[in-house]
Chains A and B, each alone.
Chain A
């Protein structure tokens, strides 16, 4: 076996060293495209999927959301719930929010909206609200007569033409808000938030205390307790821990709470991704096999000669496995250069969906390693299979075709 490996390596080495360099470059180029095909589309789909996931986690639901149980409008002991939740292992941060239905009016233009009362300082650890202010500033702890308006409610922003909007609202504009209980307040617009996501951009934010005052609450109520966890993917485990810790209100992961259409969309994207990976893998495997098979056929006479002079079929087969692995390793190397170049390009110039939704491909290193290993396994099979078939042929047929 050692002799087979040594001889196989020598044959492969000579073939690479003195073989046709143009053919080698072409094979490597094709293999790099096969690799790129395997990893690029899933990265884009991963980016799209990650974007939707991110929307749900970054704004309305966090990783886990706790809501009032039964027919209750509020979680009545929200501070107690927060205390329990923050003590649970795996929880990174938690905050409470109060949602209220309201109408917002600006210069005779009225829109219906959900206004969420937040604790601004805590939102920095919970959501991306503080980071998506495209005009003005985010709320502060003393922001009692100020409001953040979603971009789709403001004329000129993406999506505003589709929905009713408040016209030319800008930082410093005054808007009148009528809450569902009839209480009216006037707020100065402190900022406009733009998340390119309806759930964010059709809503408005005020300080938690504002909603509390408007609805006459006593300081411990919340319509939601939003939780962020340390490690993505452990939502269900942490949710169970929260329930075990004594929280009586129902807890949901962001995925549980995603509405049906979005969940179906995510499932469809996931299915497309799986299919795309499978098809790419089959096409990749077939192409590698064809390339190596053509290569082996071109060297059929050489295989016959090697057999005729006493080189074992094992050495010959191994030489093609080495050769094939070399081609594929080079293809992966070039493919990785192409891949990361494309990733850099699309990070800087993301794909645009509905003009303002930007999809950036996601680099999943585990997925990359999986594909590299898959390609290497395929290369060994693709090298061994055709060489083994030809090495089984009679010497006379291999050398002289009869």
Chain B
């Protein structure tokens, strides 16, 4: 599904070069839930942003379903982000002037769905995260957990093949965090979605199939199903 070969991301030049990623290589199979872990500054968020086509790699090759997406022009990357990839931001990244439904609805509209279908899709996605009754509220009228669930609804409404989540529980308490992770798990089980999640919480690995750990921009471990609840 995802093949990453020798991915590098450097910031700055010369002596000031910071190697955020320094030659990362791995594969993720379809339907896997993968956690990317590591200390702060290890390169996990950088890796996720490159995988989600929000940033460019300095070097390396990155393919999704056989398509080398790292070299796609911006217009195609935009289309790919819209149709194939869902991204959940750590700080929700909702549009404050749009209601919960509109934050979700806008993507379906962009995909070319009718107004009615888009709205139904949005309500369906909000129902999945338990927020159907709050569809008309704007982000300022929602709690942190609710905002994050709207962000997840936005990411899953279009049923993307791959869902990327950057510390989706960073601003949530344990109860809300569990709710979010349960949603991920359910999506994975029901729709076979591939989920790649950056986290620093050790207990989150209960919900994943595999843990890739980074340190100073390189992979120091890649463990499968060790601590998965089903194992």
Chain A contacts with B in 1-57, Cβ cutoff 8 A:
2-3, 6-7, 10-11, 14-15, 17-19
Determine the chain B residues whose CB is within 8 A of the CB of A15 once the complex forms. 97
Size of interface on A: residues with Cβ below 8 Å to B: 26
Q: How far is the CA of A309 from the CA of B78 in the complex (A)?
A: 8
Is there a chain A Cβ closer than 8 Å to B172's Cβ?
no
Question: Distance in Å from the Cβ of A102 to the closest Cβ of chain B?
Answer: 80
Determine the chain B residues whose CB is within 8 A of the CB of A309 once the complex forms. 81-82, 87, 93, 107, 154-155
Is there a chain A Cβ closer than 8 Å to B95's Cβ?
yes
Interface of chain B: mostly helix, strand, loop or mixed? helix
Q: How far is the CA of A142 from the CA of B67 in the complex (A)?
A: 103
Determine the chain A residues whose CB is within 8 A of the CB of B39 once the complex forms. none
Q: Which residue of B lies closest to A4 (CB)?
A: B110
Determine if A302 and B83 form an interchain contact, defined as CB atoms under 8 angstroms apart. no
For chain B, which range describes its interface: under 10, 10 to 19, 20 to 34, or 35 or more residues? 20 to 34
Determine if B138 and A18 form an interchain contact, defined as CB atoms under 8 angstroms apart. yes
Is there a chain A Cβ closer than 8 Å to B98's Cβ?
yes
Is there a chain B Cβ closer than 8 Å to A97's Cβ?
no
Question: Distance in Å from the Cβ of B19 to the closest Cβ of chain A?
Answer: 16
Chain A contacts with B in 366-392, Cβ cutoff 8 A:
none
Determine if B82 and A395 form an interchain contact, defined as CB atoms under 8 angstroms apart. no
Chain A contacts with B in 272-330, Cβ cutoff 8 A:
302, 305-313, 315
Is there a chain B Cβ closer than 8 Å to A394's Cβ?
yes
Indicate whether A17 sits within 8 Å of B97 (C-beta atoms), given known contacts A10-B109, A308-B87: yes
Total A-B contacts with CB atoms under 8 angstroms apart: 80
Determine the chain B residues whose CB is within 8 A of the CB of A87 once the complex forms. none
Determine the chain A residues whose CB is within 8 A of the CB of B115 once the complex forms. 6
Indicate whether A14 sits within 8 Å of B102 (C-beta atoms), given known contacts A308-B93, A309-B154, A310-B107: yes
Chain B contacts with A in 90-125, Cβ cutoff 8 A:
93-99, 102, 105-107, 109-112, 115
Determine if A395 and B107 form an interchain contact, defined as CB atoms under 8 angstroms apart. no
Determine the chain A residues whose CB is within 8 A of the CB of B138 once the complex forms. 18
Determine if A312 and B106 form an interchain contact, defined as CB atoms under 8 angstroms apart. no
Q: How far is the CA of A392 from the CA of B155 in the complex (A)?
A: 23
With beta carbons under 8 angstroms apart, the residue of A2, A3, A14, A315 that contacts B98 is: A14
Indicate whether A311 sits within 8 Å of B106 (C-beta atoms), given known contacts A19-B97, A396-B49: yes
Determine the chain B residues whose CB is within 8 A of the CB of A14 once the complex forms. 95, 97-99, 102
Is there a chain B Cβ closer than 8 Å to A214's Cβ?
no
Residue of B87, B95, B155 with most partner-chain A CB within 10 A: B95
Question: Distance in Å from the Cβ of A24 to the closest Cβ of chain B?
Answer: 12
Q: Which residue of B lies closest to A2 (CB)?
A: B112
Is there a chain B Cβ closer than 8 Å to A399's Cβ?
yes
Q: How far is the CA of A308 from the CA of B50 in the complex (A)?
A: 12
Determine if A6 and B109 form an interchain contact, defined as CB atoms under 8 angstroms apart. yes
Question: Distance in Å from the Cβ of B174 to the closest Cβ of chain A?
Answer: 27
Determine the chain B residues whose CB is within 8 A of the CB of A17 once the complex forms. 97
Determine the chain A residues whose CB is within 8 A of the CB of B94 once the complex forms. 305
Q: How far is the CA of A17 from the CA of B102 in the complex (A)?
A: 13
Q: How far is the CA of A14 from the CA of B110 in the complex (A)?
A: 15
Determine if B98 and A310 form an interchain contact, defined as CB atoms under 8 angstroms apart. no
With beta carbons under 8 angstroms apart, the residue of B78, B83, B95, B98 that contacts A313 is: B78
Interface string of B70-84 (1 = CB under 8 A from A): 000011001111110
Chain A residues proximal to chain B, CB less than 8 Å: 2-3, 6-7, 10-11, 14-15, 17-19, 302, 305-313, 315, 394-396, 399
Could you pull out 18 A-B pairs where Cβ atoms are within 8 angstroms? A7-B106, A10-B102, A11-B106, A18-B96, A19-B97, A302-B96, A305-B95, A308-B81, A308-B89, A308-B93, A310-B78, A310-B79, A311-B82, A312-B75, A312-B78, A315-B110, A396-B55, A399-B93
Known: A311-B106, A312-B82, A394-B55. 9 other contacts (CB 8 A): A3-B112, A15-B97, A18-B96, A18-B97, A302-B96, A305-B93, A308-B52, A312-B78, A396-B55
